[in-house]
């Protein structure tokens, strides 16, 4: 038996879950952008209380490894590493786009291609195209979207686009094979179930060297002068 605490902080929705093997015991989430720093500890307390599980009962911590929000990923990783060191338990990571693809795969009755998208500012998204058996057809990329994006895949079959990056692409990608699904985010609920599979195979991260998959360098915003 494995009890796994999962932390998902890669987008504007932060979530935490506790699983026993692949069975969800408790989950909590908050839909407030840039809230991971102030709310993550509260979410952890929520799932501990609702599941009746204490930290010293955990067998592993799971996090989403990115891509996504630089700040969110950094906070999630530092929190997870701190817990792993304190409890002497392993760290497991799953890609943010993987989480979304596995979630939508359950509803993919037409066996379409899947394209999870995470907002990367302006007209850029973090994305990856998957086939119906959930094999990635291209590497994860930060892609600037225009009217010709994904044409090579759309010529072959239907693609389901989803995630917080998909909304801004709806008016640009005009193709009869483009299908749009709303309100899909990486979730700790999916994270815990996938993490148990890696736990069973002994696929853990090196606590010393692990870093999130940021994909792009952090760029600080320039302060606006009020003079």
* pLDDT per residue rounded down to tens, the chain (227 residues): 899 999 999 998 999 999 999 999 999 999 877 766 678 999 999 999 999 999 999 999 999 999 999 999 999 999 999 999 999 999 999 999 999 999 999 999 999 999 999 999 888 999 999 999 999 999 999 999 999 999 999 999 999 999 999 988 998 999 999 999 999 999 999 999 999 999 999 999 999 999 999 986 544 444 444 44
Strands (E), the chain: 3-8, 14-20, 23-30, 60-64, 91-94, 113-119, 124-127, 141-144, 159-162, 178-181
The CA–CA distances, whole Å, from 205 to 5, 106, 159 equal 15, 27, 32
What's the burial of 11, exposed, middle or buried (CB within 10 Å: 0-12/13-18/19+)?
buried
Confidence (pLDDT) at 224? 45
Q: Which domains does the chain have, with CATH numbers?
A: 3-96+186-201 (3.30.420.40), 97-181 (3.30.420.40)
Name the pairing type of β-strands 178-181 and 159-162.
parallel
Distance of CA 204 to the CA centre of its chain: 18
Quick one: pLDDT at residue 96?
97
Helix axes 36-51, 70-87, angle to 10 degrees: 50
The model's pTM: 0.90
Rounded CA separation 188/206 (Å): 21
**The pLDDT of residue 1:** 87
Which residues, 6 or more positions from 129, have their beta carbon under 8 angstroms from its beta carbon?
113, 114, 115, 136, 137, 138, 150, 153, 159
> Which of helix, strand or coil describes residue 14?
strand
Residues 6+ apart with CB under 8 A from 203: 92
Question: Quick one: pLDDT at residue 33?
Answer: 73
């Amino acid at each position: 038996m494995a009890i796994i605490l999962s932390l998902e902080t890669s987008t504007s929705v932060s979530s935490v879950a506790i699983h026993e093997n692949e069975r969800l015991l408790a989950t909590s989430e908050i839909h407030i952008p840039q809230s991971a720093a102030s709310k993550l500890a509260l979410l952890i307390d929520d799932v501990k209380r609702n599941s009746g599980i204490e930290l010293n009962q955990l067998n592993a911590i799971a996090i989403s490894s990115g891509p996504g929000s630089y700040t969110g990923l950094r906070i999630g990783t530092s929190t997870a590493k701190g817990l792993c060191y304190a409890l002497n338990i392993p760290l497991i990571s799953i890609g943010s786009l993987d989480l979304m693809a596995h979630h939508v795969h359950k509803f993919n009755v037409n066996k379409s291609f899947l394209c999870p998208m995470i907002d990367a500012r302006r007209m850029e998204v973090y994305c990856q195209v998957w086939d119906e058996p959930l094999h990635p057809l291209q590497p994860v990329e930060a892609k600037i979207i225009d009217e010709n994006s994904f044409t090579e895949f759309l010529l072959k079959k239907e693609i389901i686009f989803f995630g917080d990056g998909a909304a801004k692409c709806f008016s640009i990608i005009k193709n009869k094979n483009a299908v749009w699904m709303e309100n899909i985010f990486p979730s700790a609920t999916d994270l815990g179930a996938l993490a148990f599979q890696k736990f069973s195979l002994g696929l853990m991260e090196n606590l010393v060297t692990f870093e999130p998959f940021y994909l792009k360098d952090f760029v600080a915003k320039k302060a606006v002068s009020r003079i």
